[in-house]
């Protein structure tokens, strides 16, 4: 039940904001559901493949996809995903969590700065 509720929130936020739900899903799987880090990242990828398929179809039917950008970026994402999975298998769980934490922190600071909320 917790997994379904977390996934509903993650799917909603990732479709609404166009963000990778892994930023939310991986920590939720680890800290709320007790998953080991490597299993959380792999499970998150599977869950996100499902939810992004629905979001992609919805945006496609609405005519919101800019294919000249989306296709090359999609190819890059496929290549980067393979490389990331290959490297992740060789990293310790703690290293992955530190990297995720740094990435989320940098993203949060950038969003605050560019939103002009405080400036």
Note the pLDDT of residue 54: 86
Rounded distance, CA 5 to CA 91, Å? 30
Are the C-beta atoms of 14 and 48 separated by less than 8 Å?
yes
Considering only CA atoms, which of 106, 90, 85, 101 is closest in space to residue 41? 85
Instruction: Indicate the domain borders of the chain.
Output: 2-115
Contact 34, 52 (CB under 8 A): no
pLDDT at 17 over 80: no
CA 61 to each of CA 47, 55, 78: distance values in angstroms, whole numbers, following the listed order: 22, 10, 23
Q: What is the pLDDT of residue 118?
A: 61
Residue 34's pLDDT is 93
């Amino acid at each position: 039940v917790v997994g379904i509720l977390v996934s509903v929130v993650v799917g909603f936020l990732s479709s609404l904001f166009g963000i990778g739900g892994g930023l939310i899903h991986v920590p939720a799987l680890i800290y709320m559901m007790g998953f080991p880090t490597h299993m959380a990242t792999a499970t998150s990828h599977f869950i996100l493949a499902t939810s992004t398929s629905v979001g992609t179809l919805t945006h496609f039917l609405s005519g919101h996809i800019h294919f000249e950008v989306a296709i090359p970026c999609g190819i890059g994402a496929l290549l980067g995903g393979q490389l990331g999975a290959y490297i992740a298998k060789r990293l310790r769980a703690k290293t992955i969590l530190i990297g995720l934490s740094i990435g989320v922190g940098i993203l949060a600071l950038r969003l605050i700065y560019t939103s002009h909320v405080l400036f």
